[in-house]
Amino acid sequence: MAHESDGQERLRTDPSGTASPPDGPSPTQSDSPTGQPVPPPPTQHAPPPRPGFSYSAPAPIAVIPPAPGTIRHGRTLWLVSFVAGLAVLVGSFLTRDGHLERLRSVVEEMAPGGDAEAVTTATGIVFWGSGGALLLVMLLEAVMLGVVLGRQSWARWALVPLLAGHALVMLVATAFLVPDGEGGSYVMLLWGAELLLALIGLVLFFLPSSGAWLKSSRPA
């Protein structure tokens, strides 16, 4: 039952008998100012799981065994042989004028009555070809020596035909690069030392200690 007093507004009664203020029932919390329901708060996602522990052992580090004395001495002998061979080539280049004059007479004896220009061309081909062939063989031997030091066993077998070819080229070049007189004896001495040192160094590569060191690079 609603009462009315002075200075107060009359309370309203809804059909169910519940009193409400004059302005009407208060909006509920589920009603937004626009008349739509308030969205629920965002759900919090759980953090990602931590990665598990790894029990796998790291790969072992390959230890390179030191080169035995036979490998080191063989390398030294090969390097000294290269120095001897290069000394002959450098000396021949510095005295090329004398070599070309001597070779010119040799070519004229082999082909008498030839054109002077053709003789000069043939002389240059013989001289530079002989020196170039020796230098090429030495470069190939140096490459194979580096492969041997890289623990490749097959490279020592490649040095065998290379050294034999070196001796053959040297034998042919003897007629063109060996000067007359005392200079020729020095050239022959250096060439002999070159072949001997290279041969001893090659034999050292085939000793058992060298073979064991070279074969240790193969995977077990």
pLDDT band at 69 (very low <50, low <70, confident <90, very high): very high
**Does pTM top 0.75 for this prediction?**
no
pLDDT score recorded for residue 39: 67
Give the model confidence (pLDDT) of 38-55 as tens digits: 666 666 667 777 766 655
Q: Find the angle CA(151)-CA(153)-CA(156) to the nearest 5 degrees.
A: 110
Question: Which of 134, 118, 120 lies closest to 172 in space, CA to CA?
Answer: 134
Give the model confidence (pLDDT) of 164-210 as tens digits: 999 999 999 988 888 888 888 999 999 999 999 999 999 999 999 99
Q: What is the dihedral of CA 136, 140, 145, 150, to 10 degrees?
A: 140
Local structure of 155: helix, strand or coil = helix
